[in-house]
Amino acid sequence: MSEHWWRDAVIYQVYPRSFADADGDGMGDLEGIRSRIPYLAALGVDAVWLSPCFASPQKDAGYDVSDYRRIDPRFGDLDDFDRMLADAHAAGIRLIVDLVPNHTSSEHAWFQAALAAAPGSPERERYHFRDVVDPEVPPNNWQSIFGGPAWTKTDDGKQWYLHLFDASQPDLNWDNPEVHAEFQSVLRFWLDRGVDGFRIDVAHGMVKADGLPDTGGDGTIEMIGTTQAPFFDQDGVHDIYRSWRPIIEEYDGDRIFVAEAWTDSAERRSLYLRPDELHQAFNFDLVLAPFSAADFRKAIDSEIANNAGVGAPCTWVLSNHDVQRHVTRYGGGELGLARAKAATQLLLSLPGVVYVYQGEELGLNEVLDLPAEVREDPTFFRTGGAQIGRDGCRVPLPWTREGSSFGFGANGSWLPQPADWGALSAEAEDGVPGSTLEFYRSAIALRKAHKATGLTWLADPGEDAFAFDNGALVAVVNFGAEPVPVAGYGTEVLLASSPITDGLLPGGSTAWFNK
Ligand code: BGC
């Protein structure tokens, strides 16, 4: 470990509803997670980022929180949380929870109080309410990221309220000191319970431009890969993080904040990582990059340069609960899996932090053919099915070859799993040489034994391929279709994502050599 654990950690994202279901209700829970801590320890991860498990009507799978200090009964209760946290810590695994400060659920006591109160009341001041002038014309042209308008009228038709996401997720007004005080108290509540940090949801969204001006164009904004907008990446958001940093510093244990901040450049993203703000910010550039040496290299160079400027670690990501799984993004099938392993191995040799999304270590693909009646993502409904949404990367994990929901739970799973997922289960892959699970285990173990200290590019081995020295090993990555010669890069192969034959590394593969 470097001086701070979070500068080179491998952090595993658990999506609680789809990880493991201990009580047999078809949805994952905290006890299910606790029962699988030995699996996470064997994988070698340093920490878990747990997507929201707080009280919620689950209109957006828990990113609609109705009580920030309670566990949703579907997942358990605070005692279950404490037990899970204690077991994780006993296994040497830290736990980061997911804080959702941009919006609450419409069932949150504050929003219910706001609806019951009059226009102009202090209760309404905690959110963004505006008078209805013309019932057909909302206060501005902002569109919800999930589709449709970002404004909904109150039942009496007198006011609009703002929601950048679903109508059940009203945006909080961060100009209101009460909102600041409440979230500082929520931070302390979980820090006092012993969590190791927070992933901050929509960390670039809390502050809106003065006067809520129209966006350019028709107001439609994609969150993924977006540019600046009057509701994203406003400079004022940094004041919030400057007020949070001293709070987390009061606690021992080297705890962290990680930002989900979509910005239009690595430079803007690095502003969130100034020494008095947050510790990490996901780099989504590789989520968006095509599988090509030039695109990956550009994203890597830019992240390293910008984060060095603020002294922050790079934070690499290929998959999460919002984007298509990278096996499928890279073409699916054997090719997609080979490329996905190559990309993962590449990430694990870069300097910085690597996030792993549950199931990628099994080689899971995106499930593209879920029927409409089982889908839950509001994106699907708010776009009338035009956008398929994110359910396909949220299908519950297969743990066993056979049995109800392949060992996810005793009574099926909230989304159906593909019939062939038994072969991708943890049981089917455990101890099997060449399985994706064993590949992840070896790669994570080797990464720890060969800690990257930097990155120096070496001569390219081929047209769509690159090589670098990270201070501890030499990595060669072949993005192309044709094999490339690797004899000059080292003699001892530490790990190759596909076998090297006759000194040639196949297309869609990464190899590590001892220095
Ligand atoms: C989360 C999404 C969620 C959205 C609204 C995102 O960034 O990762 O899953 O739908 O925020 O909370």
Q: Which atom of ligand 1 is closest in space to residue 390's alpha carbon?
A: 9
- CB 63 near ligand 1, within 6 Å: yes
Q: Any residues with CB less than 8 A from the CB of 252 and at least 6 apart, and which?
A: none
Let me know whether 196 and 294 are in one domain.
yes
Q: To 10 degrees, what angle do helices 78-90 and 177-193 make? A: 60
412 lies in some domain: no
The domain tally of the chain equals: 2
Can you tell me the distance from the alpha carbon of 344 to that of 326, in angstroms, rounded to the nearest whole number?
Answer: 9
In a domain, 139, yes or no: no
Ligand 1 atom nearest 321 alpha carbon = 9
391 close to ligand 1 (CB < 6 Angstrom): no
In degrees and rounded to multiples of 5, residue 327 shows phi and psi of -55, -45
Taking alpha carbons only, the member of 4, 198, 12, 24 closest to residue 88 is 12
Specify the pLDDT at position 225. 63
User: Could you tell me the CA-to-CA distances from 511 to 363, 456, 472, 492 in Å, in that order?
Assistant: 18, 16, 14, 10
Asked whether residue 345 is assigned to any structural domain, the reply reads yes
User: Are 87 and 195 within one domain?
Assistant: yes
Same domain, 430 and 501: no
CA gap 242, 247 in Å, rounded: 10
Task: Pick from 322, 323, 377 the residue to mutate for probing ligand 1's pocket: most ligand atoms within 8 Å of its CB.
Answer: 322
* Active-site entry in 80, 201, 360, 377: 201
Task: Tell me, yes or no, whether 424 and 474 share the same domain.
Answer: no
What residue type is 180 in one-letter code?
A: H
**Which residues neighbour 407 within 8 Å (Cβ) at sequence distance 6 or greater?**
398, 399, 400, 425, 426, 427
401 found inside a domain: no
Predicted pLDDT of residue 156: 97
User: Residues 253, 365: one domain?
Assistant: yes
**For residue 129, how far is its CA from the centre of ligand 1 (angstroms)?**
22
The yes-or-no answer on residue 156 being catalytic is no
Q: Is residue 149 part of a domain?
A: no
Q: How many CA atoms lie within 13 A of 332 on its CB side?
A: 6
CA 432 to chain centroid, in Å, comes to: 29
What's the length of the chain?
515
**77 and 202 both lie in a single domain:** yes
Question: Do residue 325 and residue 461 come from a single domain?
Answer: no
459 and 363 housed in the same domain: no
Catalytic, 377? Answer: no
Predicted confidence pLDDT, tens digits, the chain (515 residues):
458 999 999 999 999 999 999 999 999 999 999 999 999 999 999 999 999 999 999 999 999 999 999 999 999 999 999 999 999 999 999 999 999 999 999 999 999 999 999 999 999 999 999 999 999 999 999 999 999 999 999 999 999 999 999 999 999 999 999 999 999 999 999 999 999 999 999 999 999 999 999 998 777 777 676 667 899 999 999 999 999 999 999 999 999 999 999 998 889 999 999 999 999 999 999 999 999 999 999 999 999 999 999 999 999 999 999 999 999 999 999 999 999 999 999 999 999 999 999 999 999 999 999 999 999 999 999 999 999 999 999 999 999 999 999 999 999 999 999 999 999 999 999 999 999 999 999 999 999 999 999 999 999 999 999 999 999 999 999 999 999 999 999 989 999 999 999 999 999 999 999 99
Q: Are 158 and 135 in contact (CB under 8 A)?
A: no
| Domain presence at residue 502 | yes
Among 395, 411, 442, where does a domain finish? 442
- Does 225 lie in the same domain as 337? yes
The CATH number given to whatever domain includes residue 50 is 3.20.20.80
Q: Are residues 20 and 43 in the same domain?
A: yes
Query: Of the candidates 221, 150, 146, 148, which has an alpha carbon nearest to the alpha carbon of residue 387?
Result: 146
Whether the CB of 100 sits within 6 Å of ligand 1: yes
DSSP string, 325-354: -HHHHTTSHHHHHHHHHHHHHHHHTSSSEE
* 177-193 and 237-249 helices, crossing angle to 10°: 30
Give the per-residue pLDDT at 1.
43
Residue entry with tokens 């890069």: 489
10 with 96, same domain? yes
Q: Which domain holds residue 235?
A: 5-102+177-369+419-442
pLDDT the model gives residue 218: 79
Note whether 240 and 342 are same-domain residues. Answer: yes
Q: Answer whether residue 156 is part of any domain.
A: no
Atom of ligand 1 nearest to the CA of 223: 7
In angstroms, rounded to a whole number, what is the distance separating the alpha carbons of residues 401 and 84?
26
What is the 149 CA–ligand 1 centroid distance (Å)?
17
Which CATH number does the domain housing residue 506 bear?
A: 2.60.40
Which tokens go with 367?
Answer: 């499930």
Of 250, 252, 369, 420, the active-site residue reads 250
Q: Is residue 307 part of a domain?
A: yes
The phi, psi pair for 210, rounded to 5°, reads -50, 135
**Dist CA 171 CA 11 (whole Å):** 29
Beta bridge partners of 469: 456, 474
Is the Cβ atom of 201 under 6 angstroms away from ligand 1? yes
CA distance 483 to 468: 18
Q: Edge-to-edge strand order for the sheet containing 473-478?
A: 456-458, 465-469, 473-478, 509-514, 493-496
In short, whether 146's Cβ falls inside 6 Å of ligand 1 is: no
Q: How far apart are CA 363 and CA 340, in angstroms?
A: 8
